[in-house]
Structure 1
Amino acid sequence: MRYHLLIVACLLTLLTAGCIGSPDSYMSSYSYDLTISFTEVIHNATFLFPYPSPGFDPILSGLYGLPDGWQAEIVTIDGDRFLSITASVMVPSYHGMPIAIEPGESPLPATPSFSSHYSEETPVLMPENLVIGYDPGQTIETKNPEGTEPLLLFSPVEGGRCIIPGMQDQPCSAITTPVYASYEGSPEVEVEVWVRFSGGNQWWNLGWSGNSYIQICSARFTGPQDGWSRMHGDMVAGVGRY
């Protein structure tokens, strides 16, 4: 979990550097990122993840990273949009530890082994990462996105504390959002899901700079599931230079 938060912190830090540059370098974009991690094989899986409201309308065939045998579609429930991910079977991928390459070594070392289950040879669980981006062709309102920009369905948590490292001084608020999970598996199987949505503007002037807003939420399940739950996370707006 902290690994994902540190990545987000690094990205937001990059957006705070530099100064406004040439209009020729100006870009705006949205990004939707979904991460699913499961420790054992699960069957007859259906997930409904929060999906941005209209305004974020890329072609779904542009969803990068969808594994073979998985299906994705946008569904609307009570006026709110969700990304449906279904599969008859989801198989985890465990990898071996990276093998160091010594200078001048020839031939190169063997590729680390991989497996569908944990072992001493394959201890590293690799999550599935799905990403889709969208260029709106216009400047994104990142200071006050509510009511003007696409957002994940969310509810603010009164008195909640921002957990994204380095963002405590930003206009950050704790949020929750609904998620549906239904699958069969052993009582010990653990499933962790992350949803991240962001909108931002970037430009170049002796380095990349920009501004952004971001929503990031996660949930963890143990054992088989069949119903709605809540993801918990943060929303940050007005990050960067203006």
Structure 2
Amino acid sequence: MDSETRQPRSPRWTVVIGCLVAGLLTFAVVTVVLTAVLDPLIWPSLLVSLPLGFATGSAVAAVGYYYATRGPESGVDRRTIGIGIVAFFLVFGLLVGGLYALGQQRLDESYESTYEYRVTLSADQTLENATVYVPVPVEGGQSRLGEQFVESVRYERHTPSVRGYDGEPAPVNFTYDVVETEHGPMLSISADRIEVSTVYYRSVENETTGWNERISPDAYDPSDPSMGVRNDGSFTFTVTTASADRIDTADPFDDEPMLSRSYNRSAVECTFGADSRHRCYEYDGRVYANYDTANDTTVYLSSELSGRNEWFSGGWSGNEYREWVHVELQGPQDGWYLAEGELEVGSGSYRE
């Protein structure tokens, strides 16, 4: 065949560009697919998928360039090339499918759903003959979390981190019950005496560290910013229980535990998050308090319920709903009081 009938060869730069595009597309596809598939297995999965994607994309570009620039006399076996391409995608598909199945198994094994009910009682001075009622989780007319609270709850007392503080305070003999009231079921917490100690301190610093050092009440100067006051009157009571089923955190109103009882609930804008499931509300709650104390005593009461679904996927992820009723009271009390209620549903991420 003479030069007039020979097919012109493609310019070399078009071959280079074509091979680079093929390599980049391969790199992108492999990296994205492996990142998603490996996410439940490896964190961060991008550190594995990036080098594998780069190696695969580079190989595709190099092999493509090699075959595209071989002369006609080299006798390229197109059938062999086709079989190689099919074999590559078959192996890659099987590998991805196996990793995906393994990842889903890991997700299912790590998946857990839990409810947590927490009550906080905080006083800055001693309370006598104290009884408080706070909202309790209710589901289908019953309060399984309330019953668990009565049977097994233990409190955590928060003590001042001050040098010279005299160790652990005397334990408080709390009693618990779930009682029926005009505002629905409530959790009752009672104690004959809740002794609260006040600790005055001064902040001390040297060249490397700092600490709080106890001082006498007479040495305390409220105008001195290095001095402060703390107490040991803050108590947290918590119970947690696992759910065999996934919790409906996006719409818990019908089938999930909710705190009793809410009044004048209205939708408000959430502080963060724009998902359609994510909604926030405010409402009026009720608490009961009866105790003797000094007129300038401040008591904080709160009742909090949360339901969470969690799983491992490139780190721990999940979603939740959370309800919170809280109030601050001054001086001796005897009666029902208005409390602020907040409800947030559909917070977090969801597995579609």
Normalised by the length of structure 1, the TM-score is 0.76
Aligned residue identity for 2:244:
G
- Preserved contact between residue 113 and residue 246 of structure 2 (Cα < 8 Å): yes
- The alignment-based identity, stated in percent, is 25
Q: State which of 223, 230, 236 in structure 2 corresponds to 1:124.
A: 230
Task: Indicate the residue corresponding to 1:62 in structure 2.
Answer: 152
**Which structure has the highest strand share of the two?**
1
Task: Indicate the residue corresponding to 1:14 in structure 2.
Answer: none
> Per-residue displacement from partner, 1:176-228 (whole Å, max 9, x unpaired)?
22211000112111111111111111001121111111101211111111111
1:59 counterpart SS class:
helix
Matches within 5 A, 1:13-92: 22-53=107-138, 54=142, 56-57=144-145, 59-60=148-149, 61-65=151-155, 68-77=172-181, 80-92=184-196
Q: Unaligned regions of 5+ residues in structure 2, if any?
A: 1-43, 45-103, 157-170, 221-226
CA distance in 2, matches of 1:88, 1:182: 11
Aligned residue identity for 1:69:
N
Q: CA deviation at 1:138?
A: 1.6
- Preserved contact between residue 210 and residue 241 of structure 1 (Cα < 8 Å): yes
Q: CA deviation at 1:32?
A: 0.8
**Which structure has the highest helix share of the two?**
2
Higher relative contact order (CA 8 A, sep 6+): 1
CA distance in 1, matches of 2:293, 2:262: 30
CA distance in 2, matches of 1:25, 1:230: 41
- Preserved contact between residue 56 and residue 134 of structure 1 (Cα < 8 Å): no
Q: Unaligned regions of 5+ residues in structure 1, if any?
A: 1-17
- Check 1:76–1:234 CA distance in 2 against 1; reply closer, same or farther (3 A cut): same
- Check 1:55–1:49 CA distance in 2 against 1; reply closer, same or farther (3 A cut): closer
CA distance in 2, matches of 1:118, 1:137: 57
Matches within 5 A, 1:1-242: 22-53=107-138, 54=142, 56-57=144-145, 59-60=148-149, 61-65=151-155, 68-77=172-181, 80-95=184-199, 96=201, 113=214, 120=220, 123-126=229-232, 127-157=234-264, 161=268, 165-166=271-272, 170-242=278-350
Aligned residue identity for 2:327:
A
Q: CA deviation at 1:99?
A: 7.0
Question: Which portions of structure 1, spanning 4 or more consecutive aligned residues, are displaced by more than 6 angstroms?
Answer: 97-103
What is the count of residue pairs matched by the alignment?
A: 219
- Check 1:55–1:102 CA distance in 2 against 1; reply closer, same or farther (3 A cut): farther
Q: CA deviation at 1:101?
A: 9.1
Q: CA deviation at 1:152?
A: 0.3
- Preserved contact between residue 47 and residue 180 of structure 1 (Cα < 8 Å): yes
Q: CA deviation at 1:129?
A: 1.0
Larger Rg: 2
- Preserved contact between residue 266 and residue 283 of structure 2 (Cα < 8 Å): no
CA distance in 2, matches of 1:118, 1:50: 41
1:206 counterpart SS class:
coil
Give the alignment's Cα RMSD to 1 decimal. Answer: 3.4
CA distance in 2, matches of 1:132, 1:98: 36
In terms of mean alpha carbon deviation, does 73-82 or 182-191 score higher? Answer: 73-82
> Per-residue displacement from partner, 1:74-126 (whole Å, max 9, x unpaired)?
223369321110011112244557877986x9xxx9996599x9984761235
CA distance in 1, matches of 2:176, 2:121: 14
Normalised by the length of structure 2, the TM-score is 0.54
In terms of mean alpha carbon deviation, does 224-233 or 79-88 score higher? Answer: 79-88
